[in-house]
Structure 1
Amino acid sequence: MAILKKNRMLFIVVLVAIPLLTALTCIGIGRYSLTIGESFQVLLHALLFGKESVDAQSYSVIIGIRLPRIILALLCGAGLAVSGASFQALFTNPLATPDTLGVAAGASFGAVVALLAADHLIWVQAVALLMGLAAVFLTYSISKIRGKSTIIMMVLSGMVISSMFQAFVSLIKYMADPEDKLPAITYWLMGSLSSVTYKSLLIGTPFILIGIILVSALRWKLNVLSLSEDEAHSMGVNVKHLRLLIIVAATMITASAISMCGQVGWIGLLIPHIARMLFGSNNRFVIPASISFGAVFMLVIDTVARSATAAEIPVSILTATVGAPFFIFLLKRTGGAWT
């Protein structure tokens, strides 16, 4: 890993290659299985020569069903991981997650309201996204005292807002029809990528990509947040503006990811710790590593979810099943130190 840190180009190539190779492998896994070479051939022919150049069954399975799901897994895994990494740097707290400011609870509330009212995928996605953004705006507004907002006030406000929206979700579940709406709401909350379409990707992808690009562009400045405000100002960094930009970027990513695939835990907590264990605490390396590892983790988890059993396993069950033991291993390995 030290070699990667010294060679910037090699570092970038490896982090880009790992998710791409994983995607090529995972897209061929399932009841209709293909090798990496066959998957690449189908994708290449479909892209260059169109639908007619590919076997109809291969086109339907690979391009129509699995490809949008692969894209969503890469985007959501990368997005949730980089959101967790940026929040941990922002709050200088190793336990910070993408839901620290209540965005996941707000997005979940928006989704269950939409499921109760209409049950249309695009409608669910749009309302979840808006409510996630609204929850963080509410958190930020509450945290202000005399026009100023501190880290501790934002964290406490986030806890309150998150608890409030979780209570609203429970209320909606209590009111929902147990034969019709309640199963759909419960399944959505457990997380799944099965309902993704190219149309839904068009709505959510821009928010995730803009957020990832923004955090990546600011990753050098994230290191300054570990210093006092006076020291940061002396280095020419406007801490208030930097915090606001990071919060907006991470919120856009998290709200969009949750609006498309439901509640998926552990990625934003676990992946940044793996990146720090390998590359140290410098966010110049932690942020891009989190993007790459998060994409791979989510992709592998979703592939297992859709192919391990006849009935699809909810993603959040697998992320918790894998994430919790691995996090225990990290705690034992590092002694709880955040380095």
Structure 2
Amino acid sequence: MSTLDAVAVQPVRSIKVPIAIGALVLLPVVTAMLCLSAGRYQVPAAHVFGILLHDLLGLFGVDPAGWLPGWAAASWTPTERIVVTTVRLPRVLMAGIAGAGLALSGAVLQGMFRNPLVGPQTIGAASGASLGGVVAILLFGFGLPVHLGAFGGAALALAAVLIVHRGDGVSPVLTLVLAGVVVGAFCGALVGFVTFIADPEVKLPGIVFWLLGSFAAASWPNLALLAACTIVGGGVMLAMRWRVNVLSLGDEEARTLGVEPGRDRVILLAATCLAISAQVAVSGTIGWVGLVIPNLVRMVAGADHRRLLPVSAVAGAAFLMAADTLARDLSAAEIPVGIVTAIVGTPVFAWLLRRHARGQAA
């Protein structure tokens, strides 16, 4: 067994503290409230809570003025309400759902392939979605064509990975990972070619900004698309989280326990592909979330995927919401959120690698 395999198989030490896990579950809610409040136009957190509560109760025909004395709708300005509900809320929700989908996909892939260095980019789905998106931008522009191109590119990339991977070799997991790397590299080369031939005055700026990842185009229709795909893909992953535990034991052990590893891998790959391609379709390529967050959460929640997967989802949601808030507020010109996640993710991942190396040397 190689050193990398040993790192992948060896369970990471976990701090099994229910209070810590409970705090992680509450973290996205607190983060969302802070993100809705923060910005160049500051909105007090109390006003944010009041606006959301007022609108939520209004959906059920309840007038909160009768049982919220002193906290009526007049306590906030119309501008604050527009900023919170129209400008920031769909963006914060999109970032949270995208982060949850990416972190959940990364945790599933790491468990399924028994390798903590595997992420959403490994299986080629993100690269395929990026290729489909940039081709759509080049030929048709932004909007629905980008969504269709991203989904189509991810589906074709996954199909290519499965075609290259036969599954009957000495190490089906290794060949599947290598097939994903090959397909991802090929799609990356085609993305580079498309950006090279794009009109530098009209198409190229939009393609580059989209590839770097951004939630600047957040809207309720985009949120609905992202939420629907993430709920379907994430629901499949969560429903099969105990099978991820079995797959992490190896193919022989999985078959002994009555699990068909090849079939389950295809189902899980399709679910992760759906969640990843939906994120790329609405906000471009955002890296490091699915790679770093599951490794950090594993230190707290342990290696049991029945607990690791849902905690990774809520931690990924909080992380990407915070990263997007930094991206839109750090400078006068909005920074692509993919740059922020890379700046934060690379040193954290380097620290994780160092920690694993020390654990192996001990």
TM-score, length-scaled by structure 2: 0.86
Map of 2:62 onto structure 1: none
Q: 1:3 aligns with which of 11, 14, 17?
A: 17
Q: Does the 8 Å contact 2:94/2:215 carry over to 1?
A: yes
1:27 aligns with 2:36: yes
Q: 1:82 aligns with which of 90, 101, 104?
A: 104
Q: 2:54 aligns with which of 41, 45, 51?
A: 45
1:107 aligns with 2:116: no
d(CA) in 1 for partners of 2:315, 2:148: 28
d(CA) in 2 for partners of 1:178, 1:233: 54
CA RMSD of aligned residues (A): 2.2
**Letter matched to residue 79 of structure 1:** G
Q: Does the 8 Å contact 2:127/2:154 carry over to 1?
A: yes
1:250–1:90 CA distance, 2 compared to 1 (3 A): same
Note the C-alpha offset of 1:231: 2.2
**Structure 2: where are the runs of 5+ without partners?**
1-14, 60-72
Note the C-alpha offset of 1:235: 1.7
**Letter matched to residue 277 of structure 1:** M
**Across the two proteins, how many residue pairs are aligned to each other?**
332
**Structure 1: where are the runs of 5+ without partners?**
5-9
1:335 aligns with 2:344: no
**Letter matched to residue 322 of structure 1:** V
1:49–1:161 CA distance, 2 compared to 1 (3 A): same
Structure 2 counterparts to residues 1-339 of structure 1, below 5 A: 1-4=15-18, 13-49=22-58, 55-144=77-166, 150-335=172-357
d(CA) in 2 for partners of 1:11, 1:222: 23
Note the C-alpha offset of 1:228: 3.5
d(CA) in 2 for partners of 1:115, 1:337: 46
Q: Does the 8 Å contact 1:275/1:286 carry over to 2?
A: yes
In our comparison, the structure showing a higher alpha carbon Rg is 2
Note the C-alpha offset of 1:151: 1.8
**Letter matched to residue 205 of structure 1:** A
Map of 1:7 onto structure 2: none
**Letter matched to residue 137 of structure 1:** A
**Letter matched to residue 93 of structure 1:** N
d(CA) in 1 for partners of 2:45, 2:266: 43
Note the C-alpha offset of 1:13: 4.7
Deviations 1:66-109 (A, max 9, x none): 11111111111111111111111111111111121111111111
Q: Does the 8 Å contact 1:140/1:149 carry over to 2?
A: no
d(CA) in 1 for partners of 2:321, 2:296: 17
**Letter matched to residue 202 of structure 1:** A
Note the C-alpha offset of 1:134: 1.6
Map of 2:64 onto structure 1: none
Q: Does the 8 Å contact 1:74/1:298 carry over to 2?
A: yes
